[in-house]
Amino acid sequence: MAKLEEITVLADDVAKLATFYRDALGLRVDIMEQDYVAFGGEGIRLAIFSRIGMSPNTHDHPEYRTQFTGQAFELNFECASTDDVIERFNHIVVNGGRSIADPTKKHWGHFAGFFADPEGNIHSLFAVLAE
């Protein structure tokens, strides 16, 4: 099987979303271009690419020129503790994120909160609870 190397988030406003991911989520920017931003770190790289900019790469497939609605993916960020979840969640909201569900204990053994980024994508912060 081929190795998964990158997850690309398509955006209408690359600069705004990149600023949010950098400032609110603390991701390190490795590549910053007008239509493409890549974040560093270990594991699979996260990138942002212009939705309209992707169109020419796909022989102008119409899906890239249509306004997207709905939830297509979710990023889950593991934190060290419940206090870390709360602190990071508040930091995200102060820096342009929108609270979807405040952090609470979940039945699956996590303490989790959900937030939306500036493009409306919903993500979560969580800490694994001790059994």
Q: What is the pLDDT of residues 14-30, one digit of tens each?
A: 999 999 999 999 999 99
Give every CB contact of residue 67 below 8 A, 6+ residues apart in sequence. 12
Domain boundary among 65, 84, 116: 65
Residue 110 resides in a domain: yes
* Claim to verify: residue 48 and residue 92 sit in the same structural domain: no
> Last residue of some domain: 24, 39, 65?
65
In terms of average pLDDT, the best of 44-53, 70-79, 104-113 is 104-113
pLDDT at 73: 85
- 80 inside domain: yes
Domain range spanning residue 122? 76-128
Residue 115 confidence (pLDDT) above 80: yes
Q: What is the DSSP string of 22-71?
A: HHTT-PPEEEE-SSEEEE-SSSSEEEEEEHHHHGGGGTS-GGGGSPP-S-
Q: Is the pLDDT of residue 58 over 90?
A: no
- The mean pLDDT value of the chain amounts to 92
61-103: pLDDT as tens digits: 888 777 777 777 899 999 999 999 999 999 999 999 999 999 9
- Residues 12 and 59 grouped into a single domain: yes
Percent of the chain with pLDDT over 90: 73
The dihedrals phi and psi of 89, each to the nearest 5 degrees, come to: -60, -50
Q: Is residue 118 part of a domain?
A: yes
